[in-house]
Each structure stands twice: as structure tokens, then as C-alpha cells.
Amino acid sequence: MLRRICTLAAVAAATALATPAMAQTSGGTMNVVIQPEPPGLMLGITQNGPTQMVAGNIYESLLRYDTELNPMPSLAESWEVNEDGTVYTFKLKDGVTWHDGEPFSAADVVFSADVFLRETHPRLRVSLQHVETIEALDDRTVQFTLKQPFGPFLGIFEVGTMPMVPKHIYEGTDFKNNPMNATPIGTGPFKFAEWEKGSYIRLVKNEDYHVEGQPYLDEIYWHVIPDAASRSVAYETGKVDVLPGGSVENFDVQRLVDLENSCVTGKGWEYFAPHAWLWVNNREGPMADKRFRQAIMYALDREFAKEVIWNGLGQVPTGPVSSKTRFYTDDVRQYPHDPEKAKELLAEMGYDGTPIRLLPLPYGETWQRWAEAVRQNLQEAGIAVEMVATDVAGWNQKLAEWDYDLAFTYLYQYGDPALGVARTYLSSNIAKGSQWNNVEGYVNEEVDRLFNEAAVAFPDSARQELYTEVQQILVEEVPVAWLLEIEFPTIHRCDVKDLVDTAIGVNDGFRNAWLDR
């Protein structure tokens, strides 16, 4: 027996998004900042943030997600799952074509997921380990059969996670060196037009897009402006209409928002749920003692960081799972700002004042100011701190080689703990050479068991019970020091309408965006 997952309400919501309203007007050019410049736009091969932001409007996946992380139709118009959660059947939308005019079919889905992305997409490859077979039942029907239930399965069809790539262009080729990577072909609302390296990327309207009447815009220019101050000036002077999250320093945000015809939102990051923390090297020195790590948490004034450094755009986390991510709980130990409690723990463990090396994140002045505030917090609690300055390459190398004591970072959660949280704490994920795995060297067999069981537990109530338990353990042991659920502000002209209406914001927002001018 099948349970229908794509509800009538979801279809109605998607139809409402896809149906042009009377007030919406077609035409116009949108000017957007992209920083840094993407290394490439073939989304199946390159998955860094700037690439996803631009190419998410060229490529598509089977599903999209609303800001509550509910799946919505995209290239799949409906889907069903069997009773034990092991067989998912997707019915594809009719009449979809690639940008070169070739028809999109179930064969493209099988090739993309089972061949191309298994080779090129490390993050998706981990999720696909749970998939036994991917089959095209006919030209418009695809069936994924899992080895066992995998709770977050419906969350892996986001465009940056599982972009559909054209089989007729890539089959039998060297994927990473295919010359078509320079001129990407997708099914999305915009087509690649030109790339003037160091200056701009231009996308143009897909006149044959499968959503009638969309997109509304004629073209998008993504402007490459390396200097943060110059990006602010470009917005002030009207050169650009949109500053995506992270485009400008936080201390410039309020001034830019206060300009005439200027609006701001923190929405559109729900799927990614960027979570900032301090890596704490659990392997050696005082950091190996749980009491020292707890002292760090009590020493941190995280409310100050939220209000002053991030202009109120964010939320103080209670632990490893963001409040925007599924299976979050706040039923955990609390760590208010309490320097005296920190001092008590340090005295109890016999901390001798050994200096701790703190590695800031070299992403601009906002992060430098945050590092200075953290250093002051720790020193006020009696922890000696030495700041270690690096560039981006140096930061990457030190983290990858575990050459640090404390270090700033932020990682995405991808809507489900099995996709974006567990990787930080599983002992099986300790390996030199990466900045995105268990960099802190935390080992706990019970945590490993709970994360592994929760990933495949069924139904969701069973997953919630396991994830609640693992959050309680981690918050007690503090393998890393959680700082902030970041909300990157997207600043835009107020006459830019309907830009952010999904859980990945501008990464797929231009299909609905229009200009009220």
C-alpha cells in the first residue's frame, strides 16, 4: 500500500507560486552581487556557496522546499512512498526541456543520481549509500528503492544537493573535463549567456520554461566586486539591486537598510541553517577536559554577539541542532553568560593558565570583531588567549591538519541532522584533510550509536526520541562551543518582489522574482 506524500495542499501551494498574479509584471534586468566569484557553474561538480547561488537558477532538482522545509513539486509533480518507507516513486512533470531543446525524462534522473552525482558529489554520495536501486519505470516515472528506511530521504532533492544534469551531454564522457561545463545546460528558469571573468555573469530568461508565465525577469547580471566597501557603494549608487547574505559587513547592514527603497530579510536560509561555533581541539591540553569546554560556554557572551556583531539577525543556539532544523529540542543543559561559573570549573580542573590559540575565520571584519569579542570573554573568565592570524588558505590548512586549539567556523545543516549535523560528531568521520568533518576529534560510542540509529529509524517519532537523547549528551560534553544560528541578511530594493520564498532563498528565488517599477 502506498502513502501519498505530495498532498493536495502542497500542490495548491506550488500552483499558487507558479501562477502569475495580476500585479506581477514581466521584463527588466536584475543586478545582484556575487562574492566571491564562483570557481565554476556546473552545479553537479562544484557545490560551493557562490556556485549554488548562481547555478541554482540554471539547474533544478525534483523538489523545492518551503521555509518550513516541507517538500514542494518542481521537476517531480507528485510522489508516493510505501508503508515501510523504503520505496519512493516520483511522477515527473510533462513537457520539460533542457536549455538546448532536448526533452527531460526519467532517464536523466537515473543518470544524474545513480551515475554522475555518485561520482562527483561527495555529500550526496553519503546519502545515496542508503539507496539500493534507482529505476526509470517509464519516461515520466522514477523509483528509488532504499536498503532500509532513511528518514531524511525526501530532503536530499534540493537543487544544490541533487541537481539534474543532461544525460545526452555527459554520458560516456570525462565529467570533470567535459567542455560543456563552461556553458552549463539545465532545465531552470534562466539560461547561461556569458561570463566576463572578474566582472560579471549574465543569465537570460528561459523562454521555454515549464512554468507558464515564468520567469518574469529578462536577465540577471551577477556582479563580481571583491571589496566589501565597494559592494556597499554599488548598492548605495543603484548599480546593484540585491545584496545576498554575506555580501557586506554586518556593521554596514543597518545603514544600507535605512536607504530609501531598501528592504532586508533574514529568511531563505532555513534549509542551510548556518550554525556557527568554535572548534575545540578535544585531543590535547586543557581542551581534552569536559569542564574546560563547559567553562568556555559559560564564558561566552553570545547574546552580545547576536545583538551587536550580527545586528540581531540570528538566534543563540542551545546545542548542535539548529532550531530551524528537524528534530531540534531545547530540553538540554543551558549555558547562560556566567564568567564566575566558568572560573569555578577552571579552578576545579586545575587549569594552570596555559595560553590557548584562537584561530579567527578570515572572512572579513565582522568575523575579526567576533574573534576579538570572544578573546575578551575568555580572558575575563581567566583563560589566556593568543590570536593566530591566517588567510583563507592558511585557515583551511590549519583546520585540516588539526593545528589549532580553538577556531571559528560555520557549517550548513541541510534540513536534517543526518545530513548536516552528525558529520561533526561521528567518530567514524575523523580524518585529516577536511575542514567539514569531525575536526575536533570527539569520540563517544553512545553518540555514534544514537546518530546511526536515528538516521534510519522510522517513523519520525522514533527519530525525534533518538535525536533528543544525542543532543542532551552533546550539550553536556560540549565537543564544540556553539555560538550562533546565523541569519545572513539579504538586502534588496523594496521594488524587488517575491525574491525569497523558499528555504534556500536567492539560490532558486529568481524564478518567482519580479520588478515593481
**Average per-residue pLDDT in the chain?**
93
Q: Considering the domain boundaries, does residue 383 fall inside one?
A: yes
For the stretch 171-190, pLDDT in tens is 999 999 999 999 999 999 99
The pLDDT tens digits for 370-425 are 999 999 999 999 999 999 999 988 998 999 999 999 999 999 999 999 999 999 99
Helix axes 290-299, 460-477, angle to 10 degrees: 90
Task: State phi, psi for 215 to the nearest 5 degrees.
Answer: -75, 165
In this structure, the answer to whether residues 173 and 290 fall within a common structural domain is: no
Q: What's residue 19's pLDDT?
A: 42
Same domain for 290 and 386, yes or no, is: yes
φ, ψ dihedrals at 198, nearest 5°: 80, 0
In tens, the pLDDT along 485-505 reads: 998 999 999 999 999 999 999
- Confirm whether 99 is domain-assigned: yes
294 and 416 housed in the same domain: yes
For residue range 346-361, list pLDDT tens digits in order. 999 999 999 999 999 9
The predicted pLDDT at position 18 comes to 42
Q: How far is CA 44 from CA 25, 233, 382, in A?
A: 33, 34, 48
Report the C-alpha gap between 112 and 163 in whole angstroms: 8
Do both 299 and 173 map to the same domain? no
Let me know whether 409 and 498 are in one domain.
no
| pLDDT given at position 459 | 87
Q: What is the pLDDT of residue 48?
A: 84
Number of domains in the chain: 2
Please tell me the predicted confidence (pLDDT) of residue 186.
98
Measure CA 71 to chain center.
16
CA-CA distance, 45 to 42, in Å (whole number)? 6
pLDDT at res. 4: 40
Q: Are residues 159 and 293 in the same domain?
A: no
pLDDT mean over 467-486: 98
Tell me, yes or no, whether 168 and 312 share the same domain. no
Find the CATH number of the domain harbouring 294: 3.10.105.10
Same domain, 450 and 494: no
Mean pLDDT value of segment 326-347: 98
- Helices then strands (H, E): number in the chain? 16, 22
Q: Tell whether 293 and 406 lie within a shared domain.
A: yes
Strand partners, 200: 196, 223
In a domain? residue 246 = no
Residue 236 lies in a domain: no
Question: SS3 of 472, please?
Answer: helix
Residues 365-372, mean pLDDT to the nearest whole number: 95
Taking alpha carbons only, the member of 164, 178, 180, 46 closest to residue 115 is: 164
CATH assignment at residue 83: 3.90.76.10
Global model pTM greater than 0.75: yes
Dihedral sign (CA 228, 233, 236, 237)? negative
Q: Residues 204-223: what's their mean pLDDT?
A: 97
Domain range for 406: 275-486
CA proximity to 436, closest of 447, 426, 444 = 426
Domain assignment of residue 252, yes or no: no
Q: Which residue has the higher pLDDT, 133 or 125?
A: 133
Sign of the CA dihedral with 208 first, then 210, 216, and 220 last:
negative
**Bridge partners of 29?**
219
CA distance 472 to 5: 31
If asked whether residues 177 and 311 sit together in one domain, one would say no
The backbone torsions φ and ψ at residue 15, rounded to the nearest 5 degrees and listed phi first, read -65, -40
Q: What is the pLDDT of residue 17?
A: 43
CA 16: distance to chain centroid? 26
Tell me if 364 is assigned to some domain.
yes
User: Is 90 exceeded by the pLDDT of residue 2?
Assistant: no
Q: Which of the four pLDDT bands, split at 50, 70 and 90, describes residue 462?
A: very high
Same domain, 9 and 117: yes
Instruction: Specify if 411 maps to a domain.
Output: yes
Residue 363: pLDDT band (50, 70, 90) is confident
Percent of the chain at pLDDT above 70? Answer: 96
pLDDT band at 75 (very low <50, low <70, confident <90, very high): very high
Q: Does a structural domain hold residue 441?
A: yes
Q: Identify the burial level of 337 via C-beta atoms within 10 angstroms of its C-beta, where 0-12 means exposed, 13-18 middle and 19 or more buried.
A: middle
The secondary structure element, H or E, covering residue 485 is strand 480-486
Site of grid cell 530594493: 493
Same structural domain for residues 402 and 499? no
